[in-house]
Structure formats: structure tokens, C-alpha cells
Amino acid sequence: MFEYEGNALRDVHVEYTSGIFKENSPIVAVSENICPNQPVGECNYFALDPHGRNVGETWNGDVAFTQRVKPEVRRAGWQLNAECLTSFRGCKDVSELLPALWKSSPGGTVSSRMRSDSDSIAEAGQPLPD
């Protein structure tokens, strides 16, 4: 989906899923805000959900960032795993749909690979998973 503000591109949004014929087929929503009419200081964020370590909600992910974030964040946000579209069994969670941002963790959980504005002070003090 492309969203415009006047004649300027404002937002690009993609929803990506892997239908595995279960109750909670995984889905990831990725949004990049271009911020055509906002000052630089008002348009610089990176939000990630789920975020933190060993999070139990593994089937639903949301990523939002602006064009002004670090290039590695933008690249990671758009590195959708195309193998999920062709895999016979599909992909089972957000760490498989978008592995640059999430990692599969013990006990059927996921952990974020990058710090986002969503992280709490406590989470920011923990090391990122390898």
C-alpha cells in the first residue's frame, strides 16, 4: 500500500504472511514513513513489536520506521524472507518471516535482534542475542 500526502509519497506499507493452515499463521506488517512535510527532528523513529528477549507472541510482528533511521535498520526492515512463499510447510513465526529483526529463542519464543524505540530501559540494558 502506498499513501500520499498531497503529491508526495508519505508511507509505504507491506503485510507479509505465510499461510501454514493453522490458527495463527504468522504475519508481519512493515511500514516506512517518508515524512515529506515534517522537520527532521519530528520524523526519526524505529518501532518493533514484539521486542525484547524470549517473547511469546511469535505469530504477529509489526515494524515501523522512517527514512531517516540508520541504513542498517531500513535494510533489515525490508529483508523479507522470500523462501516463506515457496516453502512447502511455510514459515512458522516472525523470526522466519523477517530474520534480520527477530531470532527464534528457546521455548517457542522470539527475541529482537535490533534495539528499537519500543525497548524499555530494562531491555536496553540486556545484551542482544547472537
Q: Is 27 left (phi over 0), alpha (psi -120 to 50) or beta?
A: beta
Give this prediction's pTM. Answer: 0.85
Q: How confident is the model at residue 21 (pLDDT cuts 50, 70, 90)?
A: low
In the predicted structure, residue 40 carries a pLDDT above the cut 70: no
pLDDT one-digit tens code per residue, 42-58? 788 999 999 888 888 88
Write down the pLDDT at residue 17.
85
| The three-state (H, E, C) secondary structure of 34-78, written as one string | CCCCCCHHHCCCEEEECCCCCECCCCEEEEEEECCCCHHHHHHHC
Q: How far apart are CA 3 and CA 8, in angstroms?
A: 9
Write down the pLDDT at residue 80.
92
Sequence spans of domains, the chain: 2-114
Q: How far apart are CA 15 and CA 88, in angstroms?
A: 20
In the predicted structure, residue 92 carries a pLDDT above the cut 90: no
